[in-house]
Structure 1
Amino acid sequence: MLDFHDAYQRKLMTPEAALGQLPRRAVVLLGFFAAQPPALIGALMERARSGLFDELRVYYMHATTATAEAMLRPELMDVVKPYPFYVGENERALIKAGGEHAKKAIFFVPASFSMIPRIIRERLTPDVFLLQVAPMDRAGWFSFGLTGAYSLAGIERSKRIVVEVNANLPRSLGTGLVHISQVDAVIEHASDLQYAASRVAGEVERKIAGHILPMIEDGACVQFGVGGVPDIIAGELRDRKDLGVHSELLGDGLASLIACGAVTNRRKTTDPMRSVFNVAMGSASTYDLINDNPSIECRMADYVNDPRVIGLNDNVVSVNSMIEVDLSGQVNAEYLNEHQYSAAGGQLDFVRGASYSKGGLSFIAASSTAAHGKVSRIVPRLQGPATDPRIETQYIVTEHGLCNLRGLSSDERARGLIEIADPAFRDELTAAARELHLI
């Protein structure tokens, strides 16, 4: 029988030693957000600075502040090639810096979250997978902690697995586990966790939430994205009974519903009695709730975000956001001012999954205007790619109301969307709809 403690001690080493076998042209996969190991990433970038790589291609999703500070730096652009599945403010800053030097700095990989594990399995063979994990248990297992994402696919496909053990990382239960026998090297580094602060919602967000709340009934299985509207909705659902959770993101809003007892998962038709999530981003109280809690399970993106799995639960309610929607019903949630602004993430996964669910509802919500009222979010045609195609979109919600696009003709869609646009833009949108022969 394998002595897990002895195996751990044999594999325990410094970050520098763990990275010593990488070739000069290396492909590295990093974990998602809280699974990104700061000490290993710091050592990796130091090797890049020291001229030990000709090219370092790094695949990852949603950089932490520590990852961005170490890796997304203009002076590393000639060697370090970031291949993110998500573009955030740090990537946008590097894109701008690259443009100033006529260099391509970010190599964005478009994908729905549910497909990223498959992309890794079919397209990548990383030289090493670097991830942060919770301490090993007595049976030799490390928990992925706050992130499932694509970690199992990374373990399957990578030539070498190096884990950074962080004693501060919560131990989640579910399928997010890797065994000491699968690991090539272990380093220990107790770093602070990164928390995600809840956004302060305003009056517009409260009006939007007010249109959605009456449609969420007892027993609904909910998924909330990021933002003020989902946080308000969560705060107002405390009186609901037997809610379920099957969500890509577990944030403070959903965690509060679990903690207060509004979530029981009793009525879920798949994974009953368990809240299922893919990634957790929130406050210390949310992370504490997850720790060693058998009623909360961390699963991988190709399970949690699979529309077919989502649709197995009845009465799914999905709430997400947008940058803009055009008069045909196409939604752009990732592209702004001719640049990649974020990513599709799991939005389309849950829009589609809700449509597969018996009694399912999908809401895409945002204020009717942006830029302090100067720009309408309801537009004649999208400025960028469609995150959600018109044939998938169901409810569009602004502070002026909501419009169920399902089953509407092209002219009914245009008229319905114009009705929930800001009044200052309705005449302009009506004229554009006529010009496009929509009405």
Structure 2
Amino acid sequence: MDIHEIYRSKLCTPDEAARLVPSDSHVAMGMAVAEPPALLAALARRIEAGDLSGMRLWYFHSMAHAAQSVLKRELLGKVRPHCMFLSGVERALVKADPAAAEALIDFVPTAFSASPQVLREEIALDTCVTMVSPMGKHGYFTFGTANDYTGAAAKAAKRLIVEVNPLMPRVFGESPLHVSEVDAIVEHRSPLLEVAEHAASAEDERIAEIIAEMIDDGACLQMGIGNLPAAVCRRLANRKNLGIHTELLTPALASLMNCGAANNRRKTTFPGRGVFTFAMGDTAFYEWLDDNQAVYSLPVDVVNDPRHIAKNDHVVSVNATLQVDLSGACNSEHMLGHQYSGSGGQLDFVRGANASKGGISIIACHSTAKNGTVSRIVPQLDGPVTTPRNDVHWIVTEHGAACLRGKTLRERADAMIALAHPKFRDELARAV
């Protein structure tokens, strides 16, 4: 058979595809924009009908499609989420019913870079379901906005079910997927989930101003998610020869490529191309991403490997945290007694930037929370250590920047107190 005959032989409805998933099995789903809405809805219908039970769902960063189907509150218990990074979906479940939700959502502490290994080696993965771009003339789909762990899961699973969406961009990169490797194909056109950029706060704007001043021509950028990284990018349009090697590609980073500030020419790895492992943005951004040879998609265990990151010179890593203690240790994932997100790729990029020639690792943090009533600079962390004090390089708040590398504990404490809001400095000084 030619590729089109193979394609037609595997084409089925969402309900037919969902029936291929057995009970008591491990299932990986595409994350973020790559959540397959028709497939997830079909799986939810089977669970609701009592026809599918004991499904253990593995994923990073869920969004609306999962929230409206397999992660609905009434299905928790019938499906067991194994979440490696909590998003607003899980946080809403926890907020609505803390005791029950935390009992029904299994959080799996995992670095983003380790997620392919977990799915390949630590579980008997039965099925992978994900959204892909349309098949090309040579029979290949692409993972579009989400290469991350999906390529590994697709290869490791006993069966692979894809949802082909004509709006999913075709993206150059590694982890090609041939139609012969797929067990079932569902066609479903649906708008891609969009992540809006909101206005930055005054604190974000001040922090962004400080960080932008630390970024020189020729830097290779990794930016996290949110209003702060976008505010930093807006201040870099006049830079020259920037590079991009980031786990998350956003419209803010794309704008630096569009204006010529980021041409990726000085990169050691994949010169001339911005590298990423997953992408989120708006419709215009997804259209820009489609068939764009200036960007390159790689699996997360490559993109987030500190050894690979460090091959580029002058890497600047910018990430956010929730809380910093007086020694510089960062809690970026736990808040108010609950798991808030996950470690993600923060430590990978901190270490990669630290090992890069001329590299800078920056952790950004508002000095206060709860409308200024709580200090984010604390004597001791309230949660796990996401980035150890041994690895922290620069900490930035709206009150300034401090390099902690090579500093004693006393010097670090003094530096962190200076970054705290003035009304909490005396209290922090007494805790030293």
Band of TM-score, shorter chain: over 0.9
Aligned to 2:31: 32
CA distance in 2, matches of 1:72, 1:309: 35
Aligned to 1:11: 10
Aligned to 1:54: 53
Cα deviation, residue 289, structure 1: 1.6
Structure 1 residue 417 corresponds to structure 2 residue 416: yes
Aligned to 1:355: 354
Aligned to 2:301: 302
Aligned to 2:146: 147
Measured at CA, do residues 422 and 96 of structure 1 come closer, stay the same or move farther in structure 2, by a change above 3 Å? Answer: closer
Q: Report the secondary structure of 1:145's partner residue.
A: coil
Cα deviation, residue 100, structure 1: 5.5
Map residues 13-412 of structure 1 onto 2, 5 A cutoff: 13-97=12-96, 99=98, 101=100, 104-412=103-411
Q: Which amino acid aligns with 1:202?
A: S
Q: Deviations over 1:303-337 (max 9, x none)?
A: 11111100000000011101000011110111000
> Would the aligned equivalents of 1:37 and 1:164 in 2 still touch at CA under 8 Å?
yes
Q: Report the secondary structure of 2:361's partner residue.
A: strand
Measured at CA, do residues 97 and 367 of structure 1 come closer, stay the same or move farther in structure 2, by a change above 3 Å? Answer: closer
Measured at CA, do residues 208 and 96 of structure 1 come closer, stay the same or move farther in structure 2, by a change above 3 Å? Answer: closer
- Higher mean displacement: 116-125 or 160-169: 116-125
> Would the aligned equivalents of 2:302 and 2:308 in 1 still touch at CA under 8 Å?
yes
CA distance in 1, matches of 2:166, 2:100: 41
CA distance in 2, matches of 1:217, 1:37: 40
Q: Which amino acid aligns with 2:164?
A: V
CA distance in 2, matches of 1:102, 1:127: 25
Cα deviation, residue 156, structure 1: 1.9
Q: Which amino acid aligns with 2:288?
A: L
CA distance in 1, matches of 2:399, 2:92: 34
- How many residue pairs end up in the alignment? 432
Q: Deviations over 1:239-268 (max 9, x none)?
A: 111100000111111010011111111111
> Would the aligned equivalents of 1:397 and 1:403 in 2 still touch at CA under 8 Å?
yes
Q: Which amino acid aligns with 1:366?
A: C
Cα deviation, residue 13, structure 1: 0.7
CA distance in 1, matches of 2:161, 2:407: 52
> Would the aligned equivalents of 1:60 and 1:85 in 2 still touch at CA under 8 Å?
yes
Q: Percent identity?
A: 46
> Would the aligned equivalents of 2:57 and 2:80 in 1 still touch at CA under 8 Å?
yes
Measured at CA, do residues 293 and 102 of structure 1 come closer, stay the same or move farther in structure 2, by a change above 3 Å? Answer: closer
Q: What are the ranges of 5 or more consecutive residues in structure 2 without an aligned counterpart?
A: none
Cα deviation, residue 194, structure 1: 0.6
> Would the aligned equivalents of 2:315 and 2:353 in 1 still touch at CA under 8 Å?
yes
Q: What are the ranges of 5 or more consecutive residues in structure 1 without an aligned counterpart?
A: 434-439
Q: Which amino acid aligns with 1:207?
A: R
> Would the aligned equivalents of 2:143 and 2:151 in 1 still touch at CA under 8 Å?
no
What RMSD, in angstroms, separates the aligned Cα atoms of the two structures?
1.3
